Amino acid sequence: MIRAMEIPDVMSVIEIDKSVLNSNWTEVLYRTELLDLNTWAYVYELNSEVIGFIIAKFMGDTSDLLQIAVNVDYLHKGIGYEMLRYVWCKLREQGVESILLEVFSGNKRAIEFYDKFGFETVNIRKNYYGNGKDALLMKLKEDINDNMCD
């Protein structure tokens, strides 16, 4: 079940983040994003356990996908796709026309996931992650099938 992320979910989200993304997001940052009215944050819950999460920033007709992750025990089961589709449909209802994201150029699994969903690379951000690690700037294709929201 996908539902809005709440403050009590933050520790579970951090555990998933550390095991999957290893980002530099802190508890304070997660909590701050939850208080931002332009942030849409959801968790995927199974048997009362948070096993995935997605966070997007809503800005006019564009949204930035900030994070998406699924517990390693539940990868390749369509959960990430389901969360992304859910958020995309919610954003479409608000008039959002596109989603942007950055992904490490060496993260082939994530790039394949985004390609499959309908994203395309529009730019490269050199040294975005430091130490010569580039990010691909990806954008949801203009002709993405709106039928996925029916």
Q: What is the mean pLDDT of each run of 10 residues along the chain (150 residues)?
A: 97 96 93 94 97 94 95 95 94 90 94 94 94 94 71
Q: In what order do the strands lie in the sheet with 49-59?
A: 2-4, 39-46, 49-59, 62-70, 98-104, 135-140, 119-125
pTM: predicted TM-score of the whole model, two decimal places: 0.93
What pLDDT is attached to residue 146?
Answer: 62
Q: Give the Cα separation of 82 and 65 in Å (integer).
A: 14
| CA atoms in the 13 A half-sphere facing the CB of 5 | 32
The owner of tokens 């909590």 is: 31
| Structure confidence at residue 143 (pLDDT) | 72
pLDDT at 60: 86
Predicted confidence at residue 145, as pLDDT, reads: 59
Residues tagged active-site: 102, 114
Interatomic CA distance for residues 107 and 123, integer angstroms: 16
Interior angle at CA 8, CA 3 and CA 13, nearest 5: 70
> What is the reported pLDDT for 123?
97
Note whether 117 and 145 are within 8 A (CB): no
